[in-house]
Amino acid sequence: MRVLALTAGFMLGLGIPALAQESVTAAPAPATTATELMELGYDRHDRPTVPVTIDNAGAYNFLIDTGSQATVLSRGLADALALSDRQPVTLIGVASRLATHTVAMTGLTIGQRRTDVPRAVLVEGQHIGGADGVLGVDALQGQRVLFDFTRRTMTIATPEEARSSRGYEIVVRARTRSGQLIITDTQIEGVRTAVVIDTGAEVSVGNEALARRLRARQREKTELTDINGAVAYGHVHIADSAEIGRLRLTSVPIVFTPSPVFHALDLEDRPAMFLGMRELRLLRRIAIDFKTRRILFDVPTTEREMAEAWARLIEP
């Protein structure tokens, strides 16, 4: 039985349902207009990381989680920075809901681009792979974020700075819910499915509605450890195909588990899935444009590029 890691997190603040706060506050224009290029690191679960600073302190190692609504700080870092003004909040993970706190902070900066994330959620550092924090989509609003898996880099720019779609074979549109981009033009073995691109998940996770439609058999069992440290038990189904627009993936492992995250996004009763890093790393590049609600895919087209893609799965 494998133990897999996921960091997706959603907030229920002071008893108010997350979906009643329908949108995440968009970050203002960054302090610099220069496109920011950074080298990607990877944690032991093959999830991307970048250095950030907080009020000119750091750099600190943060996971980048496009599946998480909220930016997260480890309690150890918050204590070291003497961050106060803590307010109660409920953090929803893949396996659990947990009462915790948010903390006020200023000057969260990715490279040279300053964001406007006024509060972050506190979690235990061991539950985020020993990282100092997690960048959620609240830190990425209004930006185009490009992951280049061939060069191991991440680029952040405004859509105005990164106008071109040249080099991307496939472009799909998404809709927004609670700050998340949800792709609706997806077919999993012919079943229409809502998909969230999730760089914070080691593998793809599907809900029970999708499992029922696929008639997925409960074969290999696995455990999922979430951002709260809770464990969910699921079973693995190998989907013959997943089609996102014109992008076609084959033999896609999906872990099915009854997760409260799907309920938080109002996706509990329809087929839905978080697409994790195992599949994303097969791409050459993926750009997520939060302002124009587009996701751009650069796929391997030659035998050499395909070989390089499979090699990334074996050795990050």
Among left, alpha and beta (phi > 0; psi -120 to 50; other), residue 56 is left
Q: Tens of pLDDT along 259-290?
A: 899 998 889 999 999 999 889 988 999 999 99
Q: Provide the pLDDT for residue 161.
A: 67
Nearest to 251 by CA among 188, 315, 184: 188
Q: Provide the pLDDT for residue 272.
A: 95
Q: Per the structure block, which two tokens stand in for 192? A: 């229409």
Q: Provide the pLDDT for residue 58.
A: 77
Strand 133-135, strand 87-92: pairing: unpaired
Q: Provide the pLDDT for residue 4.
A: 37
With b meaning 16 or more CB within 10 Å and e meaning fewer, what string describes 148-179? Answer: bbeeebbbbbbeeebeeeeebebebebeebbb
Show the low-confidence residues of the chain (pLDDT under 50). Answer: 1-7, 9-32
Nearest to 227 by CA among 10, 66, 7: 7
Calpha distance 18→27 (Å, rounded): 19
Q: 212: how many CB neighbours lie within 10 A of its CB?
A: 12
> pTM, whole model, 2 decimals?
0.83
Q: 298: how many CB neighbours lie within 10 A of its CB?
A: 22
Q: Provide the pLDDT for residue 81.
A: 94
Calpha distance 278→275 (Å, rounded): 8
Strand 2-5, strand 221-225: pairing: parallel
Count, residues in the chain: 316
Nearest to 193 by CA among 243, 257, 238: 243
